[in-house]
Amino acid sequence: MKRLIWLSTMSLAIAATSLPVVAQTQDSPQTPGTQSPELQTPGERQTPGLQTPDTPAPGTQTPGVQPETQIQQTTPSADASMGAPKIKGTSALRDANYISLYTGSQPLSYVTIMPPDYIGIGDNITVTDQSGQNIQANVTREGEKVRINFAQPVAPGSTLEIALTDLAFGYPYPSKSTFGYELAGGYTGFNREIPYGLAQFQVY
């Protein structure tokens, strides 16, 4: 009888010591190498059924999307390479003076010539361009100042030859000295004349 009681006591002791092992096995049904969702980092969690969109590599384009193009707008302006208007040169005969004039980068409407006190300019004035073509113009006067009005504005970048072939010299006539005409130009779109300076002549 004592032997049976002792065996029963031993069986109960063995069963009591094996219970925690069974409990651990039931609470942790994971296989080695896996993590529970609670132990994953926030960046590793994904909602079932959702996929992270692929990010294209640098330098690649998404199909159907055109690259952005830049449109450059140009504003019309005068060509600065033409330079400023100027008197290019002069030449003289006994009764005629010739002035070479560069018009610059704007259309030229008229030219004014102011002679010195002892020189009178007649109406016989001709104007030609760099190709020798006559330019139609009429002559008006503002006191002693002569104004050459062009029928059509002269194109930018032109070189004009102005021939003053009807001159009258009064006293004191220059001898072995220089004299000059004051020149200015009126341009399309400008409210005031542009001075060219003096067209100088040497007298011998």
Question: 106 pLDDT exceeds 50?
Answer: yes
Contacts of 104 (CB under 8 A, 6+ apart): 82, 83, 84, 85, 86, 156, 157, 187, 194
Contacts of 116 (CB under 8 A, 6+ apart): 179, 180, 181
Average pLDDT score over residue span 64-82: 42
* CATH 2.60.40.2110 assigned to 82-199: yes
Q: Output the pLDDT for position 176.
A: 61
User: Comparing 58 with 153, which gets the higher pLDDT?
Assistant: 153
Q: Output the pLDDT for position 177.
A: 75
User: Comparing 9 with 98, which gets the higher pLDDT?
Assistant: 98
CA-based diameter of the chain, in Å?
Answer: 171
Q: What would the two tokens of residue 7 be? A: 């065996």
Phi, psi for residue 37 in degrees, rounded to 5? -55, -30
Contacts of 99 (CB under 8 A, 6+ apart): 87, 89, 90, 113, 161, 162, 164, 181, 183, 199
Average pLDDT score over residue span 174-192: 87
Q: Which residue has the tokens 């002679």?
A: 115
